[in-house]
Amino acid sequence: MNKSKVIFLLDMDAFYASCHIAQNPNLKDKVVVVASPNRRAIITTASYKARSFGIKAGMPLFKAEELCKDVYQIDSDFALYIKYSQMVFDIIYKNFSKKIEVASIDECYIDVTHVWKKYKTVKNCATVLKDLIYKETGLTCSIGISVNKFLAKSCVDFNKPNGVSILLPDKIKEVLWPMPVKEMFMVGSATEEILNNNEIYTIQDLAKSDVNKIYKILGKRGLTLFLWANGGGDNNVESDENEFRSIGNEFTLNYTTADIDEIEEMIYELSLKVCDRAKKRFLKGKTISIVLKYEKNKDTTFNKKEHKKHRNHQSSLEIPTNEHEVVYSVAKKCFYDVWTGDPILLIGVRLANMIDDINDKKQLKIEDINLYERVNLNDIQKIIYDLELKFGNKNIFTGDKLIKYNQKNRGQSKYLEDDDVHLSNKQVIEKWKTKKKD
């Protein structure tokens, strides 16, 4: 690997569950799953002890309880995950390499081309890194190593958990090609079905296929898969892309509803949470979307492929926003554009196409004339502004202090691409059910 780039794919082991265990070591020997408390909820992460019973992510909670009566369910805690994610990425950034590309909250690519030699071997470099992460956080991780991102991603699971794996291009025929094509990154059940229908069952079948045929059935994405199957792929770690792309909130209901007043209130509450979180991170978005999932026939057995089928609709604005009134209004319109009238089981609101509100806007001076007109404040915002001006509320900053506050407040999330929360709906639902009785 002396003349090639050296790329690590670092993947935290059972991350959400492991964060809870690291915070509370008494959970170490329990069958931990992360999911909302209602039995229809889907498991986000299962600890390795839970996996020994056949429990895994994507499984309904009630199925897990059938496999093991001692399942220990924990609500999602995104603030906790951000905290640990930040700790891990900071360890990498400060001690190993500043060339980090975040793939998700628990996974990142690291370019160690100019770093690994001081550890003598690439494997030793990876071992030192994962040992340091464990020492500082109590979390284990696995690392895949290769000359490009795809091959590093492909081998990271070979020695999970807490392992290091290496896959070089000269070994792909021996190691990668015999695998079913569904094992490839970015090959989901729908793509697998298309490939299988064209007599492509293994990665070797894909690698030896006619490239024009692959392009015809899968388009540009097919060309990427063809390149990967033959050992090629991107080796450029995009360290400048580590910012939020979207903020979303959704939850699975513990009952279905087609009550329009109830649904509108859900959209209202979800929009409020999304906007609150965007404001805390000084972000605005141009694209607002609604996500729905309808009730399935009770006689239908659970199917992971079908379960993932959501109904989405979005609308884009000319001016980015994080104002609740705007997001709620647009999300509600999106809902009516896509809703079939059938009872829904899941609903979500997302704000995307994000910009940094601090760096994007022009700095304003308190003494500016016609300030309200220039900022286009609504009546409520004018009152808030006047109160802050009169009483010196701590939320009024000079430009330089605001930027410093912004950097501090966004510090825990600076590496994340997406910020999605599947809400524990117990308290919210109880409130709605109470209102419905009234």
CA nearest to 359, candidates 245, 419, 283, 275: 283
pLDDT value at 410 more than 90: no
Percentage, residues of the chain above pLDDT 70: 73
Using the predicted structure, report yes or no on whether residue 214 has a pLDDT greater than 80.
Answer: yes
The annotation status of 11 as a binding-site residue, yes or no, is yes
Sequence-ordered list of residues with C-beta below 8 angstroms from that of 288, at least 6 positions apart, any chain: 314, 315, 316, 317, 327, 330, 331, 334, 349, 350, 351, 352
Distance of CA 103 to the CA centre of its chain: 9
Please name the residues in contact with 246: beta carbons below 8 A apart, sequence gap of 6 or more. Answer: 285, 350, 351, 352, 353, 354, 418, 419, 420
Q: Tokens at residue 435, please? A: 């209102």
Is 419 annotated as a binding-site member? no
**Number of neighbours of residue 252 by Cβ within 10 angstroms:** 20
The strand order across the sheet containing 45-46 reads: 45-46, 31-34, 71-74
Tokens of residue 81, six digits: 């995950």
**Is 107 among the residues known to form the active site?**
yes
Residue 242 clears pLDDT 60, i.e. is over it: no
pLDDT: which is higher, 234 or 140: 140
Average pLDDT, stretch 4-19? 95
- Whole-Å CA distances, 424 to 55, 162, 241, 428: 20, 30, 30, 8
**What is the token pair recorded at 124?**
């030793």
The pLDDT value given to residue 365: 39
Quickly tell me which residue has 């209901």 as its tokens: 253
> Which CA distances in Å does 326 have to 125, 286, 334, 375?
49, 11, 12, 16
Task: Report whether the peptide linkage leading into residue 161 is cis, meaning its omega lies within 30 degrees of zero.
Answer: yes
Structure confidence by residue, pLDDT tens digits, 41-94: 788 899 999 999 999 988 889 999 999 999 999 988 877 887 898 899 999 999
Q: Is residue 416 predicted with pLDDT exceeding 80?
A: no
Helical residues (DSSP H) of 12-121, grouped into ranges: 15-23, 48-51, 61-67, 78-95
Question: DSSP readout, 106-142?
Answer: TEEEEE-TTTGGGGSSHHHHHHHHHHHHHHHHS--EE
CA atoms of 191 and 218, how far apart (whole Å): 8
Which burial class, exposed, middle or buried, applies to 435 when counting CB atoms under 10 A from its CB (0-12, 13-18, 19+)?
exposed
Q: How far apart are CA 430 and CA 75, in angstroms?
A: 17
Structural domains for the chain:
1-166 (3.30.70.270), 177-229 (1.10.150.20), 243-361+397-437 (3.30.1490.100)
Q: Give the pLDDT confidence score for residue 297 in this predicted structure.
A: 55
How far, in Å, CA of 316 to CA of 298, rounded?
36
Contacts of 397 (CB under 8 A, 6+ apart): 405
**Pick the catalytic residue: 107, 183, 243, 264?**
107
Contact yes or no for 424/252 (Cβ under 8 A): no
Average pLDDT value for the chain = 81
